[in-house]
Amino acid sequence: MELISPTDLAKQQIQTVQDYVLFCVQTVANLFRKPLYLADMVRQADAIGVGSLPIVLLTGFFTGAVLALQASNTLERFGSIDLVGQLVSTSMVRELGPVLTSLMVAGRNSSGMASELGSMVVTEQIDAMRALGTDPMKKLVTPRVVASVVMLFFLAIISDLVGLTGGLMVAKVLLRLDARQYWESAWQTLVFQDVFMGLIKPVLFGFIIATVGCFYGMNARGGTQGVGRATTQAMVASSVLILVLDFFVTRLLMAVLSYH
């Protein structure tokens, strides 16, 4: 690894952020220009959404189960074991469902997009597309972004439901709680703010996952090593951005929706 001065490093980072913002703007602008490549969007939705379903189901189920298990230990001391459903539902819907689902999808798809597009860049397939008059951004990037945003929205909902089911299994089998009481407790505690927060986050995270993956893929340089580097960077950057954005979105929504 070559040595680089702090000033040059800072300039490089600022340049990368600037390029990424312009990349995002161009991706969104492409939605309002024809052609839309709907077939590509459907294909990507299948690869991203249906392909990620098994890992999302597993993650959601065991997260809900662990939440119920951990909560029961604390609630039992205060004689409030019947509140397990409330704790699992609010935690899953507001926070853990969207965030863990996004991290799983980022690990699977953001790196996948980077390696796929990076391979096309280094084998000069992107240049060939430009030579044939096709806009690579419109053909390759925009369908992936649209598919990620739409599918992550539904994957987060599925993860929430499966997480609640995981919590129910623990509540019924290990804690000997009534299933009906668990569900009533889980549903009644949810308010509009909780559901809204849980549904807006996956849309933003889906945009981050796809744009970061495609950005690093389209900017891959240096042959197969460059593709490997872009894949790693996409995975790390998307995961970190999801966690950082989660904090600021939560803070903003709590202020706007006035949690009491």
pLDDT at 259: 54
The single residue listed with the structure tokens 């668990």 is 182
Q: 58 Cβ partners below 8 Å, 6+ apart?
A: none
Q: Copy the structure tokens of residue 190.
A: 């949810």
Contact 64, 183 (CB under 8 A): no
Residue closest to 45 by CA, chosen among 159, 156, 149, 116: 149
**Which portions of the chain are predicted below pLDDT 70?**
1-2, 259-260
pLDDT of residue 1: 52
What's the pLDDT tens digit per position in 163-206? 999 988 888 888 777 878 888 888 888 888 888 888 999 999 99
197 and 257 Cβ atoms separated by less than 8 Å: yes
Q: Given this model, what pLDDT does residue 208 score?
A: 93
* Mutual angle of helices 142-173 and 38-45, in 10-degree steps: 30
What is the DSSP code string of 175-232?
S---HHHHHHHHHHH--HHHHHHHHHHHHHHHHHHHHHHHHHHHT--SHHHHHHHHHH
d(CA 229, CA 235): 10
